[in-house]
Structure 1
Amino acid sequence: MYRVWSYVTTYSLLLIGGAVIALIWANSDPDSYHALVHAVLIDNFLIGILEHEGGGTTRTLTLHFLVNDVLMAFFFAIAAKEVWEAVILEHGSLRGSKAITPLIATAGGMLGPVLVYVTLAAALGILGDVHRGWAIPTATDIAFSYLVGRMVFGAGHPAVRFLLLLAIADDAGGLIILAIFYPTGDLAPQWLLLSLGAAVAAFTFFNWLPRRLDRGNQLRPNSTWVRKKLSFWPYLVAGCLSWFGFQEAGIHPALGLLPIVPTIPHADRAFGIFAEAEEHLTDLLNWIEHRLKYPVEFVLLFFGLLNAGVEFSAIGAPTWLVLFGLVIGKPLGISLFGWFAANILRLGLPDGMRTADLVVVGCVAAIGFTVALFVASVAFPAGPVQDAAKMGALFSFGAALISLAAGKIFKVEKVEIT
C-alpha cells in the first residue's frame, strides 16, 4: 500500500480477473459455475452455518462461506486498519477540523444513493421486493476511485486527497451499515461480549501491560520480549474468538476482526494510505498488514470469482436501482453536502479545489464494485434479485467514463506532482 500502482495491483487487478472469469463462466456454463460456488468442503464442521433440523444442529463449510464469511475478514481488517490510522493517529487524515468538509460530503454521498434507490423503487412499485438493497449503492471502491481520480485531476490536485478522505470515511460507514442493518441470523448480542473480552484481553496483556512495565526504560525489555516471542499469535487467537462472537451474535462474521485491529501495537505516525514510507514501518500492525498483502490478493481473486458470476439475463430493475443510485445519487449527495459544508457552514475546501470539483469527485466516488458486491451478497438471498443487484455493482465501472467526461465539462485542470 505504498505506491498507487502497487495498491491497485494488490487489491484490484486480481479481483477484476476473478470477476471477469466468473462472468464468462456463469454465462457459458452456469451449472458448473454454481456447483463451484456452493461446493461443500466439509460437512458437519465445527464452525459454519447453523441449520436447525429436528432440534439438532448441523454445520456445513462451503467454498462460498469460507471466502465470504471467513477469509474476507482479513480484507476488512486491512480496511479497518486504514480507517483506524486516519482517525486516531496524531497526523491521521481524518483527524481534526481538516476532515470535517469531506466527512460531511461523505454523509451526502451515502444518503444520496439511498434516496435515489428508494425513490425509484417506490416509483416502480417494487420497494417491498428490493428494500433490503438500499445500502448497496452507498459503497465506494477506494482503489479504483483513487486511480480514476488521479487520471482526472492529476496526482497533485487537492481534490485527490479530498476524494481519498471521503472514500476512507465511506468505507467506515459501510462497515457500520453492514454490522447494524445486515445481521446474518437472529441477533444474540450477548455473544459480542466474547468479541469485546477478546479485544480487551489482547490489548491489556500484550500491548498496554508490557508498555506499562517498560516505563522509564528505553530498552523496553518487556515489549521487545512480547514482540519477538509471541509476535502476532495473541491477536490471531483473539481474532478467532472475536470472529466466532460476531457469527454467534448474528452479525456478519467477515467484520469479526474489526475489534482486534485497534488493540495491535502501532507506531504513532501515519504517512498516508499510499505513502511509500509506510513500507518501512516495523510496528506490529504494519508488519501484519505487510504479511497479509499477498494472501488478501488471492482472497479477492476468489471473492470476485464466487460473487460476480451473474448471467446477463439477470439484468433487471435492481440493476438500474443500484446503478442509478451510484451514478446519480453519489454526485448529487457529495456535491450538495460538500457545497453546504464549504459555503454555508464556511468550512471551506482545500486550497486549489473549486466547488465545481465536488461534482467530479462525486462521479469518481460512484465506482462501487468491491464493497457493493459484498453488500449485495448479504442484502439478498441467492437468486435473481441478488444477481440483478450485483450486475448494477459491476456496471458502476461506467462511472470512470462519466468521471473523465465530467472532468472535461467542468474544465478540471490536472495538477501533477513536481
Structure 2
Amino acid sequence: MYRVWDFINGYSLLLITGAIIALVWANIDIASYHGFTEYVIWADAPIGHLHDDGQGHITRELTLHYLVNDVLMALFFAIAAKEVWEAVVLENGALRGKKAATPLVATLGGMIGPISVYLGIAYVLGSTTFDAVANGWAIPTATDIAFSYLIGRMVFGAGHPAVRFLLLLAIADDAAGLLILAIFYPSGDLAPVWLLLSFGAAISVYVLANWLPRYLDRGDQVRRRSTWARKKLSFWPYLLAGCASWYGFMQAGLHPALGLLPVVLTVPHADRAFGIFSAAEVHLHDLLNTMQQALKYPVEIILGLFGLMNAGVAFSAIGEPTWLVLAGLLIGKPVGIFLFGWLAAKPLGLGLPKGMRMIDLVVIGCVAAIGFTVSLFVASVAFEAGPIQDAAKMGALLSFGAAAISLVMGKLTRVQKRAL
C-alpha cells in the first residue's frame, strides 16, 4: 500500500474538483447546469434513457449524464470488481481465511447499522416521509474506498493494523454495494432473458480466449498458443465481450454501469495480488493487471466527470433526506461496525489483528462513514431527478465531514500512529 498519494492526486483530486465545480455552478445557475448535464448527444439512439415523445413513441436518448453514469462509470466499477475478485479467489487474497473474518462481520454491521438508522428515523418522521425516502435505504451503506483509505492513514498512520482492517472492510463493502445495485436498483422493467447475452458473452470469451489456449498448451513449456493469444488478441476479445455484456445488462433492466462485471471474472490474472493502491502491482504483467493500469488515467478523468454530472445540488435542496443519509452514515456506520466487530472479536472468538484495540473499531466506523462517490451514485439511481434526489445527494456530499470527525475521534481515543 504505497501509492496513496498518487491515488489522491488522481482519482480523489479530480473527483473533488468536479464536485466543487458542479456545486458552484448549480448554486449560481441551476437551469444551465441541468441543461448541460442533460444535453442530448444522440436522439433516437440504440442506447440511453427511455424517452416518451408523448404520442406513444418510445425511443432512447443518449444524454451526457447517461454517457458518464451508465456507460463510462462501468470502467470504474470494473476496476472495483477486479480488486474484489482478486481478494476473494487468490490464495493470498485479502478476503480469504480467518484474517478477513472479523472485518467481514464488521462490514455487515456497517450496512445494517446505517439502514436501521435511516429507515428508523424516517419511520418516526411519519408515513409520508417514510414512503418518500424509503427507496434510498442503501445510500448510507456505501463507503468511499479511496477517501476512507486516505483518512485512515492520516488517523492511524500507514503501518497501523487498523488501516489494513479498514481496507478489507471497504473492499467487502464495495462487493456488497455492487450486489445491492444489481438486485435492488434495476434501471427499468426487468427482462432477465437479456442476461443470456451478458453471461453468454462472458462464458464464450473465457472458453475461447482464456481456457482453450491454456488447454492446448498442456505439456508445452513454451506455451505458444497462450502467448499468441496474449500478444495478438490482447484485450480485444474481452472488449467485445464487455460491450455485449453491457448491452445485455441495459436491455435486462439492470444498471448498465455494472455490465462489465461478468467479463472481469474471465480475464487471465496473476496468481497473486499485492493489494489495492500497491505500487508493486505495476510489475504484474498478466492481462487483468495490464488492463487495469491502462484504465487508470481514463478512470481518473471519468470520476472527475462523474463529480461534475452528479454533485450539482443547490444548497436550498437540503432537507429531511439529507439528514437521514447523514444520520445513517455518521451514526449507523460507527455503531454498526463497533457492535458487529465486537461480536466477531469477543463472543465469536475471531479476535482483532495484533496491535488493534476494541476502541479502534469506533474510529474505523467514523472513517468508513465517508460515503461520497458510491453514495452519490446510489442516490442518483434510488430516486427520480428532483428535490428528494437532490437532498439525498447533499447528504452524500456532506458525509465528507466524517473525515474531520475521524481525526477528532482519533485524538480522543488516543490512537498511536504507526509508520510503515
- Residue 247 of structure 2 is aligned to residue 208 of structure 1: no
Q: Which runs of 5+ in 1 are unaligned?
A: none
User: 1:218, CA displacement in angstroms?
Assistant: 1.6
Query: What is the rounded CA distance, in whole Å, between the counterparts of 1:208 and 1:287 in structure 2?
Result: 19
Query: What is residue 30 of structure 2 aligned with on the other side?
Result: 30
Query: What is residue 114 of structure 1 aligned with on the other side?
Result: 115
User: 1:411, CA displacement in angstroms?
Assistant: 1.2
3-state SS, counterpart of residue 121 of structure 2: helix
Q: Which amino acid aligns with 1:73?
A: A
Give the count of matched residue pairs.
417
Query: What is the rounded CA distance, in whole Å, between the counterparts of 1:231 and 1:136 in structure 2?
Result: 38
Query: What is the rounded CA distance, in whole Å, between the counterparts of 2:198 and 2:352 in structure 1?
Result: 39
Q: After the TM superposition, which residues 148-297 of structure 1 pair with which residues of structure 2 at under 5 Å, given as runs?
A: 148-297=151-300
Query: What is the rounded CA distance, in whole Å, between the counterparts of 1:190 and 1:36 in structure 2?
Result: 35
Query: What is residue 383 of structure 1 aligned with on the other side?
Result: 386
Q: Which amino acid aligns with 2:271?
A: D
Deviations 1:268-308 (A, max 9, x none): 01111122210111110011111111111111111000100
Q: What TM-score do the two structures reach when normalised by structure 1? A: 0.98
Deviations 1:342-374 (A, max 9, x none): 000000000000111000000000000000000
Q: Which runs of 5+ in 2 are unaligned?
A: none
Between the aligned residues of both structures, percent identity stands at 71
3-state SS, counterpart of residue 198 of structure 1: helix
Q: Is the 8 A contact 1:235 1:264 kept in 2?
A: yes
Query: What is the rounded CA distance, in whole Å, between the counterparts of 2:9 and 2:220 in structure 1?
Result: 42
- Residue 352 of structure 2 is aligned to residue 349 of structure 1: yes
Q: Is the 8 A contact 1:15 1:304 kept in 2?
A: yes
- Residue 42 of structure 2 is aligned to residue 42 of structure 1: yes
Query: What is the rounded CA distance, in whole Å, between the counterparts of 1:202 and 1:98 in structure 2?
Result: 34
- Residue 5 of structure 2 is aligned to residue 5 of structure 1: yes
3-state SS, counterpart of residue 128 of structure 1: helix
3-state SS, counterpart of residue 34 of structure 1: helix
Deviations 1:373-408 (A, max 9, x none): 000000000001000000000100110111011111
Query: What is residue 340 of structure 1 aligned with on the other side?
Result: 343
Q: Which amino acid aligns with 2:273?
A: A
Q: Is the 8 A contact 1:90 1:269 kept in 2?
A: yes
Q: Which amino acid aligns with 1:226?
A: A
3-state SS, counterpart of residue 403 of structure 1: helix
User: 1:96, CA displacement in angstroms?
Assistant: 1.5
Q: What root-mean-square deviation, in Å, do the aligned CA atoms of Structure 1 and Structure 2 show?
A: 1.1
Q: What TM-score do the two structures reach when normalised by structure 2? A: 0.98
Q: 1:210 to 1:163 in 2, by over 3 A?
A: same
Query: What is residue 63 of structure 1 aligned with on the other side?
Result: 64
Deviations 1:222-279 (A, max 9, x none): 0111111111110011001100111111100000000000100001011111222101
Query: What is the rounded CA distance, in whole Å, between the counterparts of 2:159 and 2:305 in structure 1?
Result: 34
3-state SS, counterpart of residue 347 of structure 1: coil
Q: Is the 8 A contact 1:137 1:326 kept in 2?
A: yes
Q: Is the 8 A contact 1:2 1:278 kept in 2?
A: no
3-state SS, counterpart of residue 345 of structure 1: coil
Query: What is the rounded CA distance, in whole Å, between the counterparts of 1:354 and 1:395 in structure 2?
Result: 29
